[in-house]
């Protein structure tokens, strides 16, 4: 069975389920997208990594990464291998002492870990053929995207931070991280980045 490599396109509010989020994965060598409905906690775990935020305490996925590093367990890849009644099933392909170990996982947790281990995400061609869609331009414009993307492509905060000094912004950023308000922290960090002199 051929595997298709995916990348994380972003996280968006679900357009079909209230209070849920859509994790959007993109086919690396194609135009299809794979939207997966996930919960708020899982969305937060993924957004923190996409935005390169450092929480004051390790979250569950960070703790698992630290544990795996300590015991020399590597995550080689994430594989989305099954789709049943709209639910995606994934596997963590791990390596320990030269041996491959496969662990079942929810797809949202698997993606959160893949981002932390910087390992590839794959899906079976059969599942991508069933569930992959071509998304029209602008459909996920409000998605939180990886931090490497340009400022113009990110969702805008409703709060205007331009009136605050850098000192005030840094204090607000620390406060937002302490209270684990990562959306606010990302918006403040974007304002700080805007003021940095360009290279």
> Phi and psi for 137 in degrees, rounded to 5?
-55, 135
Residue 189 CA to residue 176 CA, distance in Å, equals: 10
Express each pLDDT in 74-102 by its tens digit.
999 999 999 998 899 999 999 999 999 99
Lowest-pLDDT range of 64-68, 128-132, 173-177:
173-177
Neighbours of 107 (CB within 10 A): 24
> Phi and psi for 3 in degrees, rounded to 5?
-105, 145
Q: Which of 180, 144, 143 is nearest to 55 (CA)?
A: 180
Secondary structure class of 160 (helix, strand, coil): coil
Averaged pLDDT of the chain: 83
pLDDT over 80 at 137, yes or no: no
Tokens 């544990």 -> residue:
67
Q: Which of 158, 38, 90 is nearest to 11 (CA)?
A: 38
Average pLDDT over residues 113-119: 97
Residue 66 CA to residue 101 CA, distance in Å, equals: 18
Lowest-pLDDT range of 28-32, 96-100, 146-150, 191-195:
146-150
pLDDT over 50 at 153, yes or no: no
Average pLDDT over residues 14-20: 70
pLDDT over 70 at 138, yes or no: no
> Phi and psi for 64 in degrees, rounded to 5?
-65, -40
Residue 191 CA to residue 164 CA, distance in Å, equals: 9
Give the pLDDT band (50/70/90) at residue 194: confident
Q: Which of 93, 162, 83 is nearest to 127 (CA)?
A: 83
């Amino acid at each position: 069975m051929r595997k298709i490599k995916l990348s994380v396109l972003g996280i968006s509010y679900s357009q079909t389920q209230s209070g849920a989020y859509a994790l959007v994965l993109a086919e690396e060598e194609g135009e299809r997208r794979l939207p997966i409905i996930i919960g708020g906690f899982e969305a937060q775990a993924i957004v923190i990594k996409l935005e390169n935020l450092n929480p004051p305490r390790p979250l569950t996925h960070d703790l698992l990464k630290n544990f795996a590093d300590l015991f020399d367990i590597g995550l080689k890849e994430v594989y989305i291998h099954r789709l049943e009644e709209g639910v995606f099933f994934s596997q963590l392909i791990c390596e320990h002492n030269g041996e491959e170990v496969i662990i079942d996982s929810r797809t949202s947790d698997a993606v959160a870990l893949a981002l932390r281990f910087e390992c590839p995400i794959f899906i079976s061609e059969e599942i991508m053929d069933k569930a992959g869609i071509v998304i029209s331009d602008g459909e996920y414009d409000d998605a939180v995207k990886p931090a490497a993307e340009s400022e113009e492509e990110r969702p805008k905060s409703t709060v205007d931070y331009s009136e605050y000094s850098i000192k005030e912004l840094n204090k607000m950023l620390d406060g937002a991280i302490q209270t684990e308000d990562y959306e606010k922290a990302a918006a403040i960090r974007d304002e700080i980045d805007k003021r940095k002199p360009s290279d």
